[in-house]
Structure 1
Amino acid sequence: MKQKAKLQEKVQTLFSAIEEAEKMDEQEHRGLDLPELGESTSLTSEKLEAAVKRLEDKLHEQPKDKPLKKAVRELRKDLLPRLQKYEDQQAVLGDRNSFSKTDPDATFMRMKEDHMLNGQLKPGYNVQIGTENQFIVGYSLHQRPTDTRCLKPHVEKVKAALGRLPGTVIADAGYGGEENYAYLESEQLEALVKYGTYHKEKSKNWQNDISKIDNWDYNDAEDTWTCLAGRMLVFRYESKGKTESGFEIQHRHYRSTSCEGCPLKSCTKAQGNREIKVSLRYMRYKQQVREKLLSEEGYALSVRRMIEPGSVFGQVKSNRSFRRFLLRGLPKVSLEVGWLSLAHNLLKKAAIDQNKMKMEQI
C-alpha cells in the first residue's frame, strides 16, 4: 500500500532525527534500539509500539526534552494508529486489490450494466454457475473480477455438492488458460474450453500475420521453429515462471539463426535476430481444444453452451429483475444465490410440467 510505505518512510525519518538530536547533545544512546527500516524490512505496529514505549521511558528520564516529547506525541497520536489501521485493512484485503467499506467481502469490479457509460467500479461478487438443460446444478461466488481463476474452485465445489463431475466441461474463452487446461486434464475431464485467441485465429488478418507463431511450423524431432520466411529458430534455454496462484509454467526460448536480409523482418521491431518464448504444453492444449471444437460434436456442444448459462442469467436478471444483492457479506450473499438458484429451478420445472400437461390435453 502506498500510504503504508509513506508512513514507514516518515517514521524512519523521525527516528533518524531523534538519534541525530541525541548525538548533537552529546548524550549516551542508552540502548533505545530503534528499528532501522530498509527496502526489505516492513515496520509492524508491534515493532513500532515497542519503540514508542522505549521513547516514552526515555522521556520520563528527560521530561524537558521538547523534540523527543513532540516525536512521541506524533508517534502515539498519529503514526501508530494509522499503521494499525493500514494493517487491519491489509488483513481484510488479502490477495485482492480492493474491498468495499460497506461490505468488506465485496471487491470493486466493472459491471456490464454501466448506465453512466464511464466504466464505473462498483463493489460486487463474481457469480459462477453450472447448468444442464438450463437447470442450475451448481454455483459459487468469488471475490475476483476475472473468470480465469474461478474455474478450479467452482468445479471443486460442484464436485463436493454432487459427488461427481460431468465428463465434459464446456466454458467460454474467459476460462481458457494453461493452468485450467492442466487442472481439467488431471481430473480426467474433457475440456471444451475456448482460449483467448480462438475466434481471432479464424480471421484473415490473423492467418496472414507473419509475426504469429501459431502460423509457423514446429519440428518436434529437432525442436525447432520455422517462420514464414523460412528462417529457422533453434532452442536456446528454458525458463520457469509461476502464476498468481503458484502454478508453474515452463517456457522454452528460441532464437533465429539469422534474420539478416530477411524480406519479412517486419515480424518484429526488436533489433537483431527474432526471439520467441513458447510454452509447448500450452500449445498442445490449444491444439487439442482446436480439434475438438472443429469436430461436429464439439461444435454442437459449443453452440449449446451459448443458450445455457447465458439464458439462465438473462431470466434471473431481466425476467425476474434481480440485479443486485440484498444482503452483505460472502456467507449471506452465497445463501442468497442459493435461494435464487432454487427458485429458478422450481419455476423451470413448473413451466416444463405445465407445458407437458398442455401437450397431453391436445
Structure 2
Amino acid sequence: MYTHYTTRQLVLPMDIEILIPDHHLCRIVDATVEKIDPRLFIPLHPGGGRPPYPPKMMLKMILYAYTNRIYSSRQIAKQLGENIYFMWLSENQKPDFRTINRFRSERMKDVIYETFFSLVDLLRQEGLVKLEDYFLDGTKIEANANKYTFVWRKSTEKYDQKLDEKFQQIVTSIEEVTREDEQAEKETDFQGKWEETPITSEKIEETIKKVEKRLEQHPKNRTLKKAKRQLEKDLLPRKQKYEEQKATFGERNSFSKTDPDATFMRMKDDPMKNGQLKPGYNVQMGTEGQFITGFSLHQRAGDPGCLIPHFEVLEQYNRPKPKALIGDSGYGSEENYVYCEKKEIEAYVKYSTFDKEQTKTWKNQVGRLENMTYDEEQDEWMCANNKRLTFRYEKKQKSDNGYESIKRVYLCADCHGCPFQASCAKGKETKRITVSMENQKQRKDVRERLATEEGERKYSQRKIDVEPVFGQIKHNRQFHRFSLRGLSKNTVEWGLICAAHNLIKWTLKLNQRSKEPQIRG
C-alpha cells in the first residue's frame, strides 16, 4: 500500500506564508525593504497610465532573485509562477520580464545608492557594522559586450590625422583650378585658412558649400565635382565618426562598440593565458566585517586613480567618514595619501615598494633611492660610494584627477671611476634620481604606522575582510559578467549584488544567533 496521493484535492493551508520558516532569507528581504523610507520610491513613477506595480514589491522580488543567483529578468518572471517564496514576496502578482527589466535598469538607477545605504544603516542599527574601519579593494568585472568590437584612441588619432592630410590635398587642388578666377581667389584663401585652425566637420561642411558655389560658375569642372564628392561621401562622414569616438573616449584609451561605457582591461580570469584585453569595469568596494559598506564603478583600469572618486561618491550621499582606511599597495600614491590626510582619515595603505624594501636583494641594490642618505641642510643625496647627488631642477606632474606633484631632480657630478656605476647609473655617465619630497615623508609615516601593533592588526584583517567578499560574489554567486549595458545600468546591477550579499550575510548572522543556547535566569 502507498500513502494517499492526488493532485486534484484541496489541501490546507491555503496561506503559503505558513510554509516559510521564521528566519528564511525571503523574510529578511521583506522586513528590510519594508523599513526603507517609502518616500525614496515616489520619484520612480511620474504618474499617468495604468497603476504601476508597487516599487517595494518589485525591489523585494529582484533582491531575492539576486540572493539566489538569478540575474535574468526572464528567469525572475518564471519564478513568480513556480516558487512559493517569490509568490509570497509578490503577493501572487506576476509582472512580465519587460516590466522587471525596466524597473531594474531604468527606475532604480536614480535611487540605487540611497537604497543600498539605507540597508547599510539598518546593519549599523543592528550592531553588525560600526562604519569606523573601511577595507577598500577593487576588481574587474567583464562587461556585457562583444570582445572583438573595440576602438583604440591611437588608431582613431592616426586615421584622423591622415584624413586631415587628405583634406589639405583636396583644398590645394581646388585652389589650383580656381586660381585663374581672381574674384574667387579674393573671396577665400583655402590653403592659408585651413593651416591656421584645426580641421573639424563644420569646416568640411563649410568647404562643401563654397565648392557648390564655385560649381554654379563652373558646372563642368571635373576637379570641383570630384572634390565635392570626396568631401561629402568620404571625408565628412569619417570626420564626424572620429569626433564622436574622441568624445566617447574622454580620458580613456579604448571603448567597446557594443557598450561604449566599457573600457578594455586585463582580467584575472584569462582562460587562454595570453593577456587578452576584455571590455569591463573597475569595481571598487569597501567592507567591514565582510559586510559591504560602499561601492562604485569606474571606467579606468588602475586602482590608484579610483580611490578619490570612490570616496567622493560616499560624500555625495552624506555617508559617515571612516576613521581608518585599509588598502593594498595599489592605492599607495602621493595623491591618495594627501587626500586621506586632508580628510583626517588614518591611512593603513602600503606603497608599491613596501614589501620589496624588506628583502635582502633590495637592500643590496645601491642605486635605489631608499638605500641612499639625504642631507637636509645641503639638500643633497649621498650614494653608497659617498658620492653626492646635487639638486638641479624641479618639474611638475599632474594626475588624471588633477593632482599636481612636484618632482625634484638630482644629479651626481662625480660618477667617473665609481665601482658601482654599472649597477647604480645603469650604464649612463651620471646617476640621476627623481624624488618627490612629499612622498618620501608620506612613506616614512606609513612605515611607522604599519609597524605598530594596531597597524599590523588592521592590515592583516584586510586579507580576511574584503578579499573573501569578492570571492563570494565571483565564485560562489557566479557573478563574472554584467547582464546590462552602460555605466549607470551596471551601477544598479552591482548595487543589487552588494545589497543581496549583505542580506545573505545578515540572514546567516540571525540563524547563528537563533541556534545559540539561551541562558536562563
Partner of 1:297: 454
Q: Does residue 358 in structure 1 map to residue 515 in structure 2?
A: yes
Rounded Cα–Cα distance in structure 2 between residues aligned with 1:352 and 1:31? 81
Distance in 2 (alpha carbons) for counterparts of 1:236 and 1:76: 55
Listed one character per residue, the Cα deviations across residues 340-361 of structure 1 (whole Å, up to 9, x for unaligned) are 1110001001011111222236
Identity %: 48
Q: How many residues align?
A: 359
1:33-81 deviations in Å (ceiling 9; x for gaps)? 436444x842111111111101111111100100111111110111101
Separation in structure 1 between the aligned mates of residue 412 and residue 276 of structure 2, nearest angstrom: 45
2:325 & 2:468 partners in 1: Cα distance? 18
Q: Deviations over 1:224-246 (max 9, x none)?
A: 11111111222222222222332
- TM-score, normalisation: structure 2: 0.66
SS of 2:255's equivalent in the other structure is coil
Deviations 1:179-222 (A, max 9, x none): 11111111111111111111111121111001101111112222
Contact 1:33 1:51 in 2 (8 A): no
Contact 1:92/1:104, CA 8 A, preserved across alignment? yes
**Paired residue for 1:110?**
266
Task: Output the CA distance in 1 between the equivalents of 2:393 and 2:247.
Answer: 40
CA contact (8 A) 2:283 2:297 kept: yes
- Structure 2 gap segments, 5+ residues each: 1-156
Match of 1:32 in 2: 188
Which residue number corresponds to residue 321 of structure 1? 478
Counterpart for residue 281 of structure 1: 438
Match in the other structure for 1:10: 166
Computed over aligned residues only, the root mean square deviation of the Cα atoms, in angstroms, reads: 1.7
Give the Cα–Cα distance (whole angstroms) in 1 for the partners of residues 208 and 186 of structure 2: 15
Give the counterpart letter for 1:98 in structure 2: S
Q: Offset at 1:110?
A: 1.2
How far has the Cα of 1:99 moved from its partner?
1.1
Counterpart residue type for residue 181 of structure 2: Q
Q: SS state of the match for residue 240, structure 1? A: strand
For the residues of structure 2 that align with 1:242 and 1:57, how far apart are their CA atoms? 48
Structure 1 unaligned blocks of 5 or more:
none
- Residue 45 of structure 1 pairs with residue 237 of structure 2: no
Q: What residue identity is the alignment partner of 1:259?
A: C
Separation in structure 1 between the aligned mates of residue 510 and residue 188 of structure 2, nearest angstrom = 80
Separation of aligned partners in 2, 1:34 and 1:156: 49
TM-score (norm 1): 0.95
**Which residue of the partner structure matches residue 311 of structure 1?**
468
* Per-residue deviation, residues 290-324 of structure 1 (Å, max 9, x unmatched): 11122221111111111122111100111111111
Asked if 1 retains the 8 angstrom alpha-carbon contact of 2:391 and 2:411, the reply is yes
Structure 1 residues 128 and 95, CA gap change in structure 2 (3 angstroms): same
Q: Aligned pair 1:189/2:345, yes or no?
A: yes
Select 1:240's aligned residue among 376, 391, 396. 396
Three-state SS of the structure 1 residue aligned to 2:245 is helix
SS at match of 1:128: strand
Q: Secondary structure at the match of 1:158?
A: helix
Q: Distance in 1 between matches of 2:234 and 2:428?
A: 53
C-alpha contact 2:326 2:462 (8 A) present in aligned 1: yes
- Higher RCO, Cα 8 Å, sep 6+: 2
Sort the Cα spacing of 1:115 and 1:361 in 2 relative to 1 into closer, same or farther, 3 A: farther
> Is the contact between residue 32 and residue 55 of structure 1 (CA under 8 Å) also seen in structure 2?
no
1:124 aligned counterpart, secondary structure? strand
**3-state secondary structure, aligned to 1:183:** helix
Give SS of 1:125's match: strand
Provide runs of 4+ in structure 1 moved above 6 Å: none
Helix, strand or coil at the partner of 2:348: strand
8 Å Cα contact 2:172-2:190 kept in structure 1: no
* Deviation (angstroms), 1:335: 0.6
Query: Which letter does structure 1 place at the counterpart of 2:493?
Result: E
The secondary structure found in structure 2 opposite 1:136 is strand
Bigger radius of gyration among the two: 2
Does 2:495 correspond to 1:338?
yes
